């Protein structure tokens, strides 16, 4: 392509500081270096983790940055040493890398990778190395991806090549939220046929967890949320029962225990709230109940009474649904294309990248499951 090897100027939504609106700016995107790929971002979702960094984490060392980590696009050019990708390939950037060489990548028990930004920079949620500049200043690449930009540069160990016919404005959701919730149920929790489950929080991650429970054969799936308007959407993904904790004068864990003869077999916390994490654990049946922490947060400690675990319950966490990223995302794309998993049903809004602050507000108020942003430059590419 004519732009290969050159600096590209493009539009991006820059978060200059915490707790402030994003600003549409012209940024410079450097050519890819050794082992890197430059990608035209065709579509990106807005995920709660973007909001977490902007409004909850608020570590000033993590700014200025370009947010966004749930995208899909097309390879524009590749750097030296890249042999598995070529210009024109459809790809999904991955916030969780898979180098294939570290002790974690070689271990079947985990999907962590020692080469990921998250190994060293959880607090600022970005590697200090960046290919972005704006007004002469370096701009961090959030979670190693930065999909709120028309172009981004990513190491090849954090990019998945996908099917040529995949619709980018849908499969972009597999870059984070849907894979996270779905995998938390089928991989981390290990939901079994005939089991009873409870999913706390019905955003996109929670709805994906409901879908995972359904696909794994759960006989009863409780959808728990304080916003009852989300219940109809949860029914689409397989929820069978619906509970609003505010509708009861007792803890919702006690309500679930009464409805299930002692508690659910599996619970999944998809909010990122430490109090809800404890409630989800307390909602499990003693002896074998499994509760999984799925919602992202790192600003508060969490706690529970030891008897909850002594009695035989298991409390565990899930990152990216336990999927090894480069290996699994292409398969998930194929699962969508063959009808095994849903994606279209998650999407409630489609907007231009210029409307990113509107999309953020929709998520803050709970008025969307997922908003898809498409840069104006590439709106005709969403096929």
Could you tell me the CATH number of the domain that includes residue 198?
Answer: 3.40.50.720
CB neighbour class for 381 (10 Å; exposed up to 12, middle 13-18, buried from 19): middle
What pLDDT was estimated at residue 1? 65
Is residue 196 one of the residues assigned to a domain? Answer: yes
What pLDDT was estimated at residue 376? 66
Is residue 167 one of the residues assigned to a domain? Answer: no
Q: Which residues contact 313 (CB under 8 A, 6 or more apart)?
A: 281, 284, 285, 286, 287, 288, 289, 290, 291
Considering its fold, how many domains does the chain have in total?
1
CB neighbour class for 227 (10 Å; exposed up to 12, middle 13-18, buried from 19): middle
Is residue 380 one of the residues assigned to a domain? Answer: no
Residue 84 main-chain phi, psi, to 5 deg: -90, -5
Mean pLDDT of successive 10-residue stretches along the chain, which has 383 residues:
89 95 97 97 94 85 95 97 96 96 97 85 82 96 95 97 97 97 98 98 97 98 96 97 97 98 98 95 98 89 93 97 98 98 96 95 87 74 48
What pLDDT was estimated at residue 124? 80
What pLDDT was estimated at residue 213? 98
Is residue 41 one of the residues assigned to a domain? Answer: no
What pLDDT was estimated at residue 116? 83
**3-state secondary structure (DSSP) of residue 132:** strand
Is residue 63 one of the residues assigned to a domain? Answer: no
Is residue 230 one of the residues assigned to a domain? Answer: yes
Is residue 71 one of the residues assigned to a domain? Answer: no
What pLDDT was estimated at residue 383? 45
Question: How far is it, in rounded angstroms, from Cα 234 to Cα 214?
Answer: 11
Domain extent, residue 242, equals 184-321
Per-residue burial over 346-369, b = 16 or more CB atoms within 10 Å of its CB, e = otherwise: bbebbeebebbeebbebbeeeebb
Instruction: Quote the pTM value.
Output: 0.94
Angle of the 252-259 helix axis to the 274-282 helix axis, nearest 10:
20
Is residue 254 one of the residues assigned to a domain? Answer: yes
């Amino acid at each position: 392509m004519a732009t290969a090897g050159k600096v590209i100027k493009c539009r991006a939504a820059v978060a200059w500081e915490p707790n402030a609106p994003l600003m549409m700016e012209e940024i410079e995107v450097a050519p890819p270096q050794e082992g890197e790929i430059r990608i035209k971002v065709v579509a990106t979702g807005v995920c709660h983790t973007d909001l977490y960094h902007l409004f909850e984490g608020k570590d000033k060392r993590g700014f200025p940055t370009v947010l966004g980590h749930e995208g899909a696009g097309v390879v524009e050019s590749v750097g030296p040493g890249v042999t598995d990708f070529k210009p024109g390939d459809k790809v999904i950037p991955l916030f969780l890398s898979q180098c294939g060489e570290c002790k974690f990548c070689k271990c079947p028990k985990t999907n962590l990778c020692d080469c990921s930004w998250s190994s060293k920079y959880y607090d600022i949620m970005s590697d200090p190395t960046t290919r972005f500049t704006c007004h002469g200043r370096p701009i961090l690449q959030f979670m190693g991806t930065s999909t709120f930009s028309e172009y981004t540069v990513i190491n090849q160990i954090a990019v998945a090549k996908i099917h040529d016919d995949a619709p980018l404005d849908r499969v972009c959701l597999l870059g984070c939220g849907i894979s996270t919730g779905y995998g938390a149920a089928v991989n981390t929790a290990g939901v079994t046929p005939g089991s009873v489950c409870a999913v706390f929080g019905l955003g996109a991650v929670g709805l994906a967890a409901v879908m995972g429970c359904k696909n794994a054969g759960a006989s009863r799936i409780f959808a728990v949320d304080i916003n009852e308007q989300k219940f109809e959407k949860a029914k689409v993904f397989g929820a069978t029962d619906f509970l609003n904790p505010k509708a009861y004068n007792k803890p919702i864990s006690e309500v679930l225990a009464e409805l299930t003869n002692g508690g659910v077999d599996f619970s999944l916390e998809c909010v990122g709230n430490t109090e809800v994490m404890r409630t989800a654990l307390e909602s499990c049946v003693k002896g074998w109940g499994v509760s999984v922490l799925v919602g992202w947060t790192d600003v508060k400690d969490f706690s529970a009474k030891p008897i909850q675990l002594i009695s035989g319950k298991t409390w565990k966490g899930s990152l990216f649904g336990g999927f090894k990223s480069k290996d699994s995302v292409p398969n998930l794309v194929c699962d969508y294309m063959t009808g095994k998993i849903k994606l279209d049903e998650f999407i409630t809004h489609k907007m231009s990248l210029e409307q990113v602050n509107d999309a953020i507000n929709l998520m803050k108020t709970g008025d969307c499951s997922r908003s898809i942003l498409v840069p104006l430059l590439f709106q005709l590419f969403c096929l």
